[in-house]
Amino acid sequence: MQKIMFNDKYGLTDAVLAKRKTQTRRIITNKEMLKVIKKFDTLGALFTIYFRFLLNPDLRERFIYNRRVMRYQKNETVAIAQSYADITPQADWANCMTRKEEIGWNNKMFVRAEDMPHHICITKIRIERLQEIKSEDCLKEGLWMAGDVGLEGTTYWYHGLANSSFRTPQDAYASLIDRISGKGTWESNPYVFVYDFELID
């Protein structure tokens, strides 16, 4: 089983577990795949490219079914990575002491997928440019909407902000993705895999 990590600093794991976050974007880095995508994109058909890849046996095997290129598949159940410290009941002393010997006690990068108590199922996949994200999809990425906040009116924010003056969900998401993936990510407008998912346990 595969595992997936969401950023804890900005509350995204909690947002998934609360069913507020039901979508995630992962930057496409495979150079060969990017060359093919750009070819289709110049034809104005980016919105159909994932299905073109699925229908083409060569492209499907080279990219879609290649785990080094595309980590998750449609209808796949994926474990939500959490540190052992977060999932081990403190009252369970025997289990607690065993887990403390694990490198994943405080670092979820090293936990085993089969140990994780929560899972998502990938329900839909598509390819798009990062800046194409729609307002409703920004909220699916775990943003909050605050209506009628003083003179500001409606603002958008994410976990970790003391206050927010973002007037559009895209502005808030641009700030969030730059914090998660590095400054300039939004401006560079990379191609991304968009994964829709649902929490199943």
Query: Could you tell me the residue ranges of all domains in the chain?
Result: 3-81+116-136+189-199
From CA 4, how far away is CA 73, in angstroms rounded? 12
CA distance 163 to 97: 40
Question: Which tens digit of pLDDT belongs to each residue from 7-30?
Answer: 999 999 999 999 999 999 999 999
Q: Are 8 and 172 in contact (CB under 8 A)?
A: no
Task: Using a cut of 0.75, tell me whether the model's pTM lies above it.
Answer: yes
The DSSP line for 107-123 is -GGG--GGG-S-EEEEE
Please name the helix (run of DSSP H) or strand (run of DSSP E) that holds residue 193, with its range, or none.
strand 191-199
Read off the pLDDT band of 140 (50, 70, 90): very high
pLDDT digits (tens, 9 = 90+) for 77-105: 999 999 988 888 755 656 666 777 778 78
Whether 155 and 32 have beta carbons less than 8 Å apart is answered as: no
Please tell me the distance from the alpha carbon of residue 140 to that of residue 201, in angstroms, as a whole number: 18
For residue 93, the model assigns a pLDDT of 59
